[in-house]
Amino acid sequence: MLLLVLNNFCAMDTEGIEIRIKTPVGDMDSSVDCPSLLSFSDLLVAIRDVMPETTITAFEYEDEVGDRITVRSDEELKAMLSYVNTRPNDCSPAAVGSMPNNSSSLKKSSAELKKILTNGQINGQDIQYQEQLGHGNGGTVYKAYHLLGNRVLAVKVIPLDITVELQKQIMSELEILYKCDSSYIITFYSAFFVENRISICTEYMDGGSLDVYRRIPEHVLGRISVAVVKGLTYLWSLKILHRDVKPSNMLVNTRGQVKLCDFGVSTQLVNSIAKTYVGTNAYMAPERISGEQYGIHSDVWSVGISFMELALGAFPYPQIQKNQGSLMPLQLLQCIVDEDPPVLPVGQFSQNFVHFITQCMKRLPKERPAPNNLMDHAFILLYDDGNAEVVSMWVCRCLEERRAQAQGQM
């Protein structure tokens, strides 16, 4: 396990601690000015930033007799910080500069930390592409390492044969992404064109997208639904419609966070991709399949059908076979327009959950819940308890199972 070596210091009017992260490739030193503001998750983010290759869920420190103590939560972090504070204080200014500072620094608060992680333009030459994470309608997503920022990214590369004018229009339409600031929306870092390809750099989520998880238990799905509804409510408050809500655009990580990605902020980008890829999205609301107007209610339908699929472990319309991706010939989706929407089997799921899905999948858009009704639904209220641990444990277990399965097949 990762070892942190701690030292307290005071300099000028600031007190803090210095943390040395012992990594296999050398030591990384950082100072924290206001340790009381530091949370366990801030520290994990910063550690992952300097050690992007490793999945870290805990770390250790040594007490005065050399025993190693594990830190896995805010409580344990508090204990670690108070242990450092009770040790003799080395107040000489030399202590501040005594360790070479060669890492991105751990900062005062999560807001500041986020600023550090998200600012700065990303340039194509500074990116080292690693594995391919997936391929969708239009683009390929890679895990990549940003050399200057010392961080792992997800980079979506989309080939687009368009004029420089249109490229500029797309870049300006993407500007709004810098303003998106919600823990339920994937953090956007930067976008750039190289020749006829656009690269869109975002936060990397180590649990990937929900489409690859089979049958998610209701108590986990409840917490995921809360995050998705909060993410959408946030986008709608900025007058942004998602337009592509589906399991592959819901990402999770081992910290138990759930975030939305791939929402359509750039009309020009959406249109340019649509010219290359023909087909209709199977998660689209009936009114969209019929070519009618699109609104918030259409996003709500897509929430319903996505969660129904995630609960059942199969697409809710058995006559629609989704082999690869979600784009289908329009005729195959006609049953979504013509038939009564499917309903979850009551015996297997709670009444609250069945009601939530049924409301979201009302055929008439106006009958579906509005944003505040979604937030106030009993199913959402029940699971809005901030318990990220449930999702975190489930993601870690599924990743572990997948790893074991892959090793078994080798």
Residue window 106-145: x/- pattern of binding to ligand ATP, with contact defined by CB under 6 A:
---------------------------xxxxxxx-x----
Q: Which of 249, 253, 298, 306 binds Mg ion (CB under 5 A)?
A: 249
Residue with the closest Cβ to ligand ATP? 136
Phi, psi at 180, each rounded to 5°: -65, 120
45 binds ligand ATP (CB under 6 A): no
Cα–Cα distance measured from residue 380 to residue 244, given in angstroms and rounded to the nearest whole number: 21
149 binds, among ligand ATP, Mg ion, none (CB under 5 to 8 A by kind): none
Cα–Cα distance measured from residue 214 to residue 200, given in angstroms and rounded to the nearest whole number: 28
- Whether the Cβ atoms of residue 87 and residue 9 lie closer than 8 Å to each other: no
Q: Which of 35, 52, 208, 222 binds ligand ATP (CB under 6 A)?
A: 208
161: left (phi over 0), alpha (psi -120 to 50) or beta: beta
202 binds ligand ATP (CB under 6 A): yes
202 binds Mg ion (CB under 5 A): no
154 binds, among ligand ATP, Mg ion, none (CB under 5 to 8 A by kind): ligand ATP
Tokens representing 50 are 């300097």
Q: Which of 18, 49, 203, 262 binds Mg ion (CB under 5 A)?
A: 262
Cα–Cα distance measured from residue 368 to residue 353, given in angstroms and rounded to the nearest whole number: 15
Cα–Cα distance measured from residue 260 to residue 114, given in angstroms and rounded to the nearest whole number: 18
Tokens representing 213 are 């998880």
Looking at residues 334 to 363 of the shown chain, list those that interact with ligand ATP (rule: CB under 6 A).
none
DSSP string, 150-182: TEEEEEEEEE----HHHHHHHHHHHTHHHH---
Question: Catalytic: 244?
Answer: yes
302 binds Mg ion (CB under 5 A): no
Q: Where are the alpha helices (DSSP H) in 163-266?
A: 164-174, 176-179, 218-237
- Name the catalytic one among 33, 244, 262, 299: 244
279 binds ligand ATP (CB under 6 A): no
35 binds ligand ATP (CB under 6 A): no
Which residues are catalytic, by number?
244
Which stretches of the chain bind ligand ATP, using CB under 6 A?
A: 133-139, 141, 154, 156, 186, 202-205, 208-209, 211, 244, 248-249, 251, 261-262
